[in-house]
Amino acid sequence: MLYEGIARVLLPVSDLAAACEPFERLGLVVTAERQPPGRGIRIRAVPIGGPDNLFEVEIIGKADSPGEGWVFEPVVDRGLSTIVLRVSDMAAALATLAERGIQATSHAILDANGEKRIELAMLPDLPDAAASLRLIQYYKSGAERIAEDFGGRQHATPLKRLDHLAAVAPDLERSCRFWDEVLGVPTVGEVVTPAIIVRQLKIGDAILELLGPSSPDSPIRQRPPGLGSSCSFEVPDLDATIAHAQSAGFVINDRRIGTLPGTIVATIPAAQASGLNVQLLQYV
């Protein structure tokens, strides 16, 4: 497979400090602010997972002098905008995609010491993918990045890992073929409910769900196509996590059996978490 895992999702916001506050109140580690040179942005991130599956919700605000580097204006405060897939060899990944008709180039982003931090590639608009995509190659190990991001701290809310993201695909069959034949990620599972068909694409140890309607009156038909503003995180004890979130001032009213077999879930609504639905999921 071209991709090692889902590395990041991007959450562009108009007020970086205000957007980070709910995550900090929940007891999550939020990284210190960075301003990558020439990109017109300020970044803080919520890192989740271990050395082999480190995932980040990257919260992005406008730099003081953004210049032409600020490209997020159309999607500010509208929830998640982009999925970033992790690769081990950027040149090889881009060459493979070029053979399949997708042309993209990458550029290096340096750290404060002028050393290469990451290699990043923005893929062109791919409507059949049902999500905006980027690729990333890291030049530090997962363990090094955890040490840098956490600095010995731990999340008070025990989010173990990203379980899944979801995107609405109006033409579900077409999108699944595109992910399989062009992007190189086959469908590995399917869950069908009276209203929704969920196709599961495994990327690393997380799942990208493509959602389509299973009935003429499915509520999915009313949702806009593209990446949903929701992250589902596995937790070890759902009831304890709900109690912790409620003690921090969050209102959670939807504890229920999950759509995925063998799960129970509850959600911190997007209105309480800077536009991101934070789903808490336990396997039982």
Domains in the chain and their CATH numbers? 5-150 (3.10.180.10), 161-283 (3.10.180.10)
Percent of residues in the chain assigned helix, strand, coil, to nearest 5: 25, 35, 40
Is it the case that residue 94 has pLDDT exceeding 90? yes
| Amino acid at position 98, single letter | A
- Distance separating alpha carbons of residues 274 and 175, to the nearest angstrom: 29
Is it the case that residue 199 has pLDDT exceeding 90? yes
Whole-Å CA distances, 95 to 3, 128, 136, 153, 180: 13, 20, 14, 39, 17
Q: Whole-prediction pTM value? A: 0.95
Mean pLDDT computed over 12-21: 97
Whole-number pLDDT of residue 104: 97
Answer yes or no: are the C-beta atoms of 246 and 256 closer than 8 Å. Answer: no
Whole-number pLDDT of residue 1: 75
Answer yes or no: are the C-beta atoms of 84 and 135 closer than 8 Å. Answer: yes
- Residue-wise pLDDT for 30-80, tens only, equals 999 988 877 889 999 999 999 999 999 999 999 988 777 788 999 999 999
- Distance separating alpha carbons of residues 165 and 160, to the nearest angstrom: 15
